C-alpha cells in the first residue's frame, strides 16, 4: 500500500559555475557515491556483466585530453563568459575573418620581402645624412637676362652645401643608344656638353651616380634637397653661378619628361639628375630618376 503522507523535505541544491567540478565535493554531498574515473564513459565500451555475479563492472580508462584540447576548451569558456558578442558570429564568419587576417599578414610579409629583394645590397645600412658645408665664395656671373654662351666659361666644379657635396665636373656626352653618358666614377659628377653652360639661357644638365656596390655615390642624398637650397657651379675663368632649387621630382624611367628636363627655357636654369626609386636586381638598375630643378639667382 502506498504512502500518502507528507513527502520528506528535498535536500538543498546549490548550483556551482558550469565549468567547475570537484570529485571530493561530490563525495561530501552524496555519501557513499563512488568517485568517478577522470575519463569519459562510452556505453559501447562497457563489457557485458557475467551471469550470476554481483561484482561491480570495470571500464577501460581513456587517456587524459591533450594540452591542445584543454587550452581550446579553456579559451572557449573564457570567451563565452567575457566576450559574449562572439556568440553572434557563426563559425563560417569567424573562419572568414581569420582567413582575411591571414591573407593580410601574408601580403604584408610578401611586400617586405619584395622590397628587400629589390633593394641593393648596400642599402640595408643607409649612411648618415651629410652635414652641410660652407657655401663657396667667388665672383658671380652677370644676371641671367645678360648672360650668353660666349660670356660663360666651361663649368669645372659643383657644390651643394645642404647635402655636403663638392665635386669636380667632367664632360658627358650621349651614348650610342641616345641615352645620357654617366661619369666613370661614382665620386664625381659631370656636365652634359649638349646642354647650355651653367649661367647662360637654357637648362644646363649635370648628372651623377646615386650609389654603387661599394657605397653611396656623389648624388646619393640629392632627393632630400628642398626648394630654397642653393647650388653653386664654378667655372674655368674663376666665376661662379649660383642657383636656387625650385623643385625636386622623381620620374619613372619609362615616363621620363625629356622636354621638361632637356627642353629650351628662356631663363638660366639647372638640372641635377641621378637614379632613384626601386632597384631592380634583374635589370641591374633603378626604375626611376630623381631630378632637381633650379634657377639662376646670382
pLDDT of 214-223, one tens digit each? 889 999 999 9
CA separation for the pair 116, 104 (Å, rounded): 18
pLDDT value of residue 73: 80
According to CATH, the topology of domain 129-296 is Sortase; Chain: A; (2.40.260)
Residue 229 scores a pLDDT above 70: yes
Between 73 and 279, residue with greater pLDDT? 279
Neighbours of 244 (CB within 10 A): 15
Rounded mean pLDDT, 57-86: 71
Q: Above 60 in pLDDT, residue 168? A: yes
Domain residues of the chain, as ranges?
62-118, 129-296
Global pTM reads 0.58
Q: Give the pLDDT score at 131.
A: 79
Is the predicted pLDDT of residue 87 greater than 50, yes or no? yes
Torsion angle of alpha carbons 188, 193, 197, 201, nearest 10°?
Answer: -130
In the block, cell 663638392 appears at 166
In 3D space, the residue among 258, 293, 149, 265 whose CA is nearest the CA of residue 202 turns out to be: 265
- Long-range own/partner contacts, residues 245-249 (CB < 8 A, 24 or more apart): 245/292, 245/293, 245/294, 246/293, 246/294, 246/295, 247/292, 247/293, 248/222, 248/223, 248/290, 248/291, 248/292, 248/293, 249/290, 249/291, 249/293
Average per-residue pLDDT in the chain?
Answer: 76
**Phi-psi bin for 3: left (phi > 0), alpha (psi -120 to 50), beta?**
beta
Q: Which three cell numbers stand for residue 270?
A: 639647372
- Residue showing cell 571500464: 59
Which of the four pLDDT bands, split at 50, 70 and 90, describes residue 152?
Answer: confident
Say if residue 136's pLDDT is above 60. yes
Q: Is the pLDDT of residue 292 over 90?
A: yes
135 contacts: CB under 8 Å, gap ≥ 6: 159, 161, 230, 232
Q: Are 199 and 233 in contact (CB under 8 A)?
A: yes
Residue 11 scores a pLDDT above 80: no
Which is more confident, 86 or 275?
275
Handedness of CA 221, 227, 233, 239 (dihedral sign): negative
Is the pLDDT at 227 greater than 60? The verdict is: yes
Q: How far, CA to CA in Å, does 85 sit from each of 68, 71, 93?
A: 24, 21, 13
In the beta sheet, which residues pair with residue 202? 268
- Distance between CA atoms of 75 and 97, rounded to whole angstroms? 18
Model pLDDT for residues 99-117, shown as the tens digit of each residue: 777 777 666 666 655 555 4
Q: HSE (CB half, 13 Å, CA atoms) of 265?
A: 24
Amino acid at each position: 500500500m502506498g504512502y500518502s503522507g507528507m513527502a520528506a523535505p528535498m535536500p538543498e541544491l546549490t548550483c556551482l559555475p558550469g565549468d567547475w567540478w570537484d570529485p571530493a565535493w561530490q563525495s561530501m554531498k552524496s555519501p557513499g557515491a563512488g568517485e568517478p574515473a577522470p575519463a569519459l564513459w562510452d556505453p559501447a565500451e562497457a563489457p557485458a556483466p557475467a551471469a550470476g555475479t554481483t561484482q561491480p563492472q570495470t571500464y577501460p580508462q581513456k587517456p587524459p585530453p591533450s594540452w591542445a584540447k584543454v587550452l581550446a576548451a579553456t579559451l572557449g569558456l573564457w570567451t563565452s563568459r567575457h566576450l559574449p558578442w562572439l556568440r553572434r558570429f557563426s563559425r563560417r564568419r569567424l573562419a572568414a575573418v581569420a582567413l582575411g587576417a591571414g591573407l593580410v599578414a601574408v601580403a604584408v610579409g610578401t611586400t617586405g620581402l619584395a622590397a628587400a629583394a629589390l633593394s641593393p645590397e648596400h642599402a640595408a645600412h643607409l649612411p648618415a645624412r651629410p652635414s652641410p658645408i660652407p657655401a663657396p665664395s667667388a665672383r658671380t656671373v652677370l644676371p641671367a637676362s645678360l648672360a650668353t654662351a660666349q660670356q660663360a666659361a666651361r663649368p669645372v666644379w659643383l657644390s651643394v652645401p645642404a647635402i655636403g657635396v663638392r665635386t669636380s665636373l667632367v664632360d658627358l656626352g650621349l651614348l650610342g643608344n641616345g641615352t645620357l653618358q654617366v661619369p666613370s666614377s661614382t665620386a664625381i659628377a659631370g656636365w652634359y656638353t649638349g646642354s647650355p653652360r651653367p649661367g647662360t639661357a637654357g637648362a644646363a644638365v649635370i648628372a651623377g651616380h646615386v650609389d654603387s656596390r661599394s657605397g653611396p655615390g656623389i648624388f646619393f642624398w640629392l632627393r632630400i634637397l628642398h626648394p630654397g637650397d642653393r647650388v653653386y657651379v664654378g667655372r674655368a675663368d674663376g666665376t661662379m653661378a649660383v642657383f636656387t632649387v625650385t623643385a625636386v621630382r622623381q620620374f619613372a624611367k619609362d615616363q621620363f619628361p625629356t622636354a621638361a628636363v632637356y627642353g629650351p627655357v628662356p631663363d638660366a636654369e639647372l638640372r641635377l639628375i641621378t637614379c632613384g626609386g626601386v632597384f631592380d636586381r634583374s635589370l641591374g638598375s633603378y626604375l626611376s630618376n630623381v631630378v632637381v630643378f633650379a634657377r639662376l639667382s646670382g
